[in-house]
Each structure stands twice: as structure tokens, then as C-alpha cells.
Chain A
Amino acid sequence: MTGAIVSGQAGVAVFVKGSQAWCVSRQTAQPQLISQGLFPHLFGDAEDARHFPEATIDSARELLEEACRKERGLQLALISMDSACSDTTRDLSEDALEDLLDYSYVGEFISNRLFSRPLPNSSLWLNWHSSGLNYSKVAALHKSVMDSQQWILQGRAAWDAIPVQDFGEEGGKPEFESVLIETGAFRTIAVAMASGAKQGSAQLQLLADQRYKRFPNFRHVLMQWARVIPKATQAGVQRVLVEDDRRKSDRPRAKSKKTTGHETFQNVNVQKSAIQRQLQLGNLAQAEKYVDELVKGQVTSGRPDLAAKSLCDLAKDAKDLGYGDYQLTWSAKARELSPGDPFVHNQFADALLGIGDLPKALAVYKSTASDFPQNEVARTGKAEVLKALGRFPDALAAYESTVRDFPQNVVARSGKAEVLKALGRLPEALAAYESTVRDFPQNAVARNGKASVFVRMGRYQEAEALVATEQTQTRVEWIALHILATIKLKLGKHGEAEKLFAKGAGCLWADVKSRFIAAQAVLLMDRKQLSEADALIRSERSLESKVVQIDIYRRMNRISDARKVLLELSDCKVASIIEISRDLERNMGPGPKTISNEKFVEREIEMLMAA
């Protein structure tokens, strides 16, 4: 065994190499060589010991510091709410906790645990108001935990309701639960309920997490967990409110406000679900009508900010279902209603990006980033548009500055790697992805990115290992499947590739589905089944599918049709699309060809994978 075993509770890390071990502790500056006999007892009663196989003797100390901060932070939070402790102790603990909360991972660690079950009735936090706390970060933590108590209760009740038999083996449920707590799944559920997010998106987020896949029946369990929550909501909330009534009988006004707020929230959720359903069914007029009613209701009740949030949620749904125009319209409306909310501007910019209006998208992201410099989404959005415009050095600089300011932002770090890939700096791109995957092992986007770099480098086996699963529940899993199909194609396994591309017809995300269809069309085109390829791609609306369409018409010698599609792309500012469509235009009609048909197939497959 090599690596380090680290426990924040015990305050000890042991670095092991072969038959030797060194102890790193908070009390000693230098690692101490220890005997075999000491080793197992160093961790005492600690329940948090973890093995880091890649750790070095130097990194073991850093890992220990991080583990100690997390555990200590949790201890201090518990002391802060412990009625058995004196005022002096609680003040000391809040002061120390305030310092520790400077580390974002400490807050996350504590929240993941505090969100896993409701606070006990004896907890002092239940009787406090955040504004009464002297320390701002502790107050923010207190507020987030208190605001979510009803959702935490429901999430816990939903989890407890899942039969033990569903976990396959004895002890499976507590083990799965401890991983869910550790990884913040209870928090995900509570936050999803509190923010009014859809059940589906919470399910998808949970299903995408690699760390749950080792548990038998994990998919069924997670789906069941996320599904049962809305059903339990009413009863659960009533219970909370009754308890609240008992506990806070001296605060009747707050109580009645809470009830009204929740009912409104429930109604909004129902309305949003109905709108989503109408979009799925293609009943667009009905969807529009429902949207108007929802917005009108929220604006009339004096909450235009909530109306804007609803519109943004719906805009995101519309995007996922392939209705880019609705995404644009609704997010534009949201901007009017709540101009002080960066979220709405980002959603609007994303819509502009989706329809290919890159200059406008860039302008919106830029102004949002300038108005809200702490908004990471605006900054990564700006970088993404710069990348799409082909302004790679600018995009790289934008991502790098975001990574510098927000080192834990996985989008920025993956984006930086993506730009390095686009610049052809593949070893650097690989290194950037590797560090991102190492720091965020559960992040499938980074893993997909790393796989695509391997494909570009011709290291197909390593790429395949990263996207080997054929599971398709989430958007990123579908993208992984697309990468896998591309690898099969590169390896000359055409049959397998075609089968995987065909599977993409079942994808729920319009933009990703379009990639699968376009890839199928490219394969048909390559086999000279041009009419079939044309029939397959004709109704697709993505920019990439337009490129494939141009190539098909070019090969069919339907030059005027090809030019019509080219015209549709005339406003497009996406660098990769401009480049390939320009080359296609140059190779239309009679005359010598500068680029072979095979090369175009290769480039189109690449374009679809990178999209």
C-alpha cells in the first residue's frame, strides 16, 4: 500500500510507502517515522479516515489541514447550537467558525451534514434569528440551514420511506446514506425543493454522480427518492408548520407568512409543470397562455423578481426541449421584470448564444460580469462566447482570470482546458483536464472533455475508458455516449458506432440529440446514401446540422439548396461553423476540390464531437 490515510477527527495523517510509515500530525512540524505497531491505533475512534493513494508525504499535510478544518468546522457549528454549552464557548466557537468558513469547502462540508436531517428540537439555532448573530458567515450558514428545515424534513422523510429491501444487501441503506450525506445529495434534494427546481433535474443531477453507481439498484433508489418528495410535501410541510406553531407560538406573524409563501410556491410549481408538459406535447399556444397567467399572478402579488425566476426556469426548460426562440423571449421578459438579478441576464445571454447571436450574447455577459463581478456564471459565459467566436486567446484569458478568482469553479477550469484543446495545445489541455478531474472526480463534463482530448491525440483506448458506460440518463451521459460512438468510428468499428449514434434518437436534450442525428447523416452521406441522409437531417435546426446539410446538398449537386442553407448561416459568428461552411462553399460545383470528401467527413465528425 502507498499513499496517505488522513483523518480530520483524529488530527492525524499517516503516509505509507512499502513497509514504512510516517505520521503527520497537527502537533508536529516534521513527519515522524512510526512503527507498525502504532499505525492502526493512531486513528482511534475516528470515522472519517480516508485513503488517498496518490498522496505524497508533502501533500499529506495539506490533506490533513483540509480534513481538520472540515471536521473542526462541523464541531464548532454543533457547539454553536448546543444548549449545553456556555455563552462564552458558543461565542468562541462562532468566532473560530467564522474564520474557517473562509474556506469554501468547510461550508460545503458542514452544510452537507446539516442538510441531511432536521435540527433536533434542542438545537439553539431553531430559536435564533440570523440577524442576531455577530458573525456574517456563520449567520449565512445559519440562515441557509434554517430556511431549508422544512425541505430537509421532507428529504429525510422521503429517504426513510424507501424500503431497506430496495438496497439489495444487508447494510446497503446506511452505507448508501453515508455516501449521500458526504456528497451533499440530501442538500441537493432540499435545495431543489426550496428553489422550485423540477424533480427531473434533481434526479438527473443525482444520477449523474459516479459515486453512487457502485450501489446496487442505485438508479431505482435515487429516482424513487426524488420522486416521492413532492408527494410527501404537503404532509411534511404541515407537520413542520405544526411543530413550528408549537415552538414559536410567540411569533404568529412569521408563521402565517410562511404558510402563504409555501402555498404560493406549490402553485407556482404546479403551473410550471403544466407549462413544461404543454411544451413537450407541442401545444405552444397553451404553453404561452399558461406562462402569461403565471407571470401575471406573480407580478400582481408584488413579486416581479419571482416572476423573472419562473420565466428563467421555463426558458431553461424550453432550451432543453429545443425551443430556443421561447428561451430568448422568456428570458428577455425576465430581464425587464428583474433587471437587478444577474441570473436573468445570464439566461438571456445563454439564449442568444443558443441561437448563434454571439456579439449580443457577449455584450450581455460582459455587462453582467461588470455589474456583478462576483458572478461566476457571467464570467464563464463571456469566456464561452469568446471561444465560440474563435477568439481563443481572449477566451483563455477570460477563463484563466475566472479560475484565478474562483479556483473551485469547475466550469471555468473545464472551459480553460477546452480552449487549450481548440488552440491545438493538446498536452496542456490534457493536463488541465486531468487536474480538473482529479479535483472534481464526480464531474462528468470534465471527464468527457478529457476523453475528447484523448480522441484528438489518437489515444482512443484511454478515451474509451473514460466514456465506456452506455448509461444515458443525463445530458452529460448522452454526450459521453456520443464521444464513445465517435471513438468506435475512429477505430473502424462502423457497425458499433452506427448503433450508438442511432440510440441518440431517444435523447431528451434537443441540442445533443441533434448531434447524434447529424452524425448518423454523416455516416449515410459517407456511404453515398445521400437521399436518406437528407431526409434524416432536413428537420434539424442546430448550426452543426446545417453544416452537414450543406455538405449533403453539395454532394448531391443541389448547389442552390446548399446555398440557401448557407444563407441561413450568414449571421452565424461561431468560428468553427464559419470555417467549415466556408470550405464547403469553396468546394461546391465543378472545378478542382481543395479538400477531399473524406476529410470533410472527418472534420464534421470532429465538429459534432466538439460541439
Chain B
Amino acid sequence: MRQTVPDCFHFCGFPNVRKANDPEEVNALDLQYSEAKKSATAGNRGALFDAYEAFLGASVAVVCRSLDLTKALLSSENVVYATYYQETEGAGRLSEDSLFDSTRAATDARVFPRYYKDIRFGALSLDGKGVPTYGACSMVLKSSAISLRTTVFWENTVDFCNRICPIQKEPVPPGYRAFWSTRARLAAAKGQPMLDRQSTVQEFAGILIDRDVFVEVNIYGPFNRNSVERILVAKPTDKADRAVLSAIRDVIKKDALGIAVEEY
């Protein structure tokens, strides 16, 4: 996908960010946001909405992996977090000719046309914990490593397209994606209906990631262990998990990666 202007080779931005910056997208998101805020205010939840949005300003991108895969990523600088397509096109990964795979490819080609093979997926999180189904280990990515090339989407893109625009030939409606610095507006607009007057600050994290429903983070290009800021992992319950977690701590210490490991 083109990232430079052909005549002057000036960098013209990452394609996902350019798409989110498209005036049509920006205007549609502004409209969503305004309506959400209006609705919250009308329901006497305006302050809560503002508080939620303020918290979302500090939200982080999280990818979840099993302990084994986390250790593999941290073991060397040369290991990069692969995309789904790099895995299936490589020899290592089984590529099932399944309904799910074809749906994934079809959706990605609609949402991220021509550059979908460069997109890595994660979730937006307030407490650093990601979508547990993806793996027990949540890796929080450094904002500095991703902010310029990351956008967020309303929800999992496949589920979104299946629900909102199931006809493949129809365009994906605007207003459901945002670039990194405006992620709070999108997430606040999405979460507004769930904000109850009784909601507490502690519950905000559960509104942002409600089991498998979350705001999807779309990162253009690779990242490696140097992009990881901290790791959150459930307290290991067996010897093997303890050993692998201990090995993760060892490699962080030995290579001075400065990654904090938190058990919960």
C-alpha cells in the first residue's frame, strides 16, 4: 500500500490513519459522538459520560496471547508479532478453508482495502487486561510505539460487518473508526448506552471490554518486544505456568526490557 506521494516521496501517512482521517469518517464520528453526548445529558448522565471519556483518554492498546506465545515474542528482538495473513501464508500455520476464514478475509478487504495484510489486531483497554478468550497474558503496548499508525474500530470488524452491513458489495458506513488521539470519542459514543447513573469508575473497564465485545485496535505494521510496556497475567495455578512466567521475568531482566509484569 502506498505510503509516499509518488512525485516527491513525501510520507503521506499510514493507510488506516488516512482512512480514519477522511472528512467523511471524521464528520460521521463527530455526529455519533454529539448524539451520544446529547443522549447522556438528556438522561442526566452527562457528567458520567464526561468522566468515562476522560478515562478513555488514557486507554491502552492490548494484545492477548498464551504464556507460551508471549514468551516466544519476548525471547528475541527479531521476533515480530505476525499478522493472521502472514501466519496462514507461511508454512507454520494451518490455513483452514473455512467459512470463518473467508469471512475474515472478505471483511478485512472491505474495512482495510489493499492494506489489510499489514494490520495487527488488539483491543482497547482501561485496566490493561485484554479479551481473555485471546489468551491468558495481556500485553499492553507502548503508546509511543503505536500511536501514529493505529486506529480503533467500533467493535470486532467481522461482527460489525455481519451485523451492520452484511452485503459484501455495500460500503462500510462511516463514523465507526477513529485515529489514536480521538479513540476516547469513539469509545465514549459506543459505551454511552451502557452508562448507567449508578455506574462507578471501577465498572468503566468492564463497559469498554464486555467479555468478547470490545473496541478493536488496528495497528499498521509490525511490532516486537520493544513495543511492550507491561504484561498482566492471572496468577499461575500450576507448576508449568509458574515456570514459563518465571522464564518471562528472566528474559525481561536479562535483556533489560523494562517491561513490568503484574499478576492478578
Contacts and interface: CB of A to CB of B under 8 A. Distances in A.
Interface of A: 1, 5, 8-12, 16, 19, 21, 23, 25-27, 32, 34-47, 49-51, 71-72, 75-76, 79, 82, 84-86, 88-89, 92-93, 95-97, 99-100, 171, 174-175, 178
Tell me the dominant secondary structure on chain B's binding face.
helix
A277 to B, nearest CB: 42
Interface string B205-235: 0000000100000000000000000000010
Interface in B69-112: 69, 71-73, 81-82, 84, 87, 91-94, 96-101, 103-104, 107
Given A23-B133, A72-B240, A35 B99 contact: no
Given A36-B158, A38-B156, A50 B94 contact: yes
A11 B250 contact: no
A133 to B, nearest CB: 15
A79 B247 contact: yes
Tell me the dominant secondary structure on chain A's binding face.
mixed
29 contacts: A1-B96, A1-B100, A9-B68, A11-B136, A25-B133, A35-B156, A36-B159, A37-B158, A38-B133, A40-B84, A43-B87, A44-B69, A46-B87, A51-B96, A71-B68, A72-B68, A72-B240, A75-B71, A76-B244, A79-B244, A79-B247, A84-B251, A85-B251, A89-B246, A89-B247, A92-B246, A93-B243, A93-B246, A99-B239
A50 B96 CA distance: 9
B183 interface: no
A100 B240 contact: yes
B133 A9 contact: no
Contact of B162 (A5, A37, A82, A178): A37
Contact of B240 (A39, A40, A43, A76): A76
B66 interface: yes
B62 to A, nearest CB: 13
Given A44-B134, A50-B94, A84-B254, 19 more contacts: A1-B97, A5-B94, A9-B69, A16-B100, A34-B133, A34-B212, A35-B212, A37-B157, A39-B104, A41-B134, A43-B93, A45-B87, A75-B71, A79-B243, A82-B247, A89-B249, A89-B250, A93-B246, A95-B239
Contact of B98 (A1, A47, A93): A1
Given A45-B87, A76-B243, A19 B68 contact: no
A23 B135 CA distance: 12
Interface of B: 65-69, 71-73, 81-82, 84, 87, 91-94, 96-101, 103-104, 107, 121, 131-136, 155-160, 162, 212, 234, 238-240, 242-244, 246-247, 249-251, 254
A21 B72 CA distance: 28
B136 A42 contact: no
B69 A96 contact: no
A55 to B, nearest CB: 13
A72 B82 contact: no
A284 to B, nearest CB: 52
Given A9-B68, A9-B69, A47-B93, A36 B251 contact: no
A43 B93 CA distance: 9
A184 to B, nearest CB: 19
Given A45-B82, A46-B69, A96 B162 contact: no
Contact of A42 (B133, B243, B246): B133
Contact of B93 (A35, A49, A86): A49
Contacts of B68: 8-9, 11, 71-72, 75
B240 A96 contact: yes
A175 B92 CA distance: 9
Contact of B87 (A37, A47, A89): A47
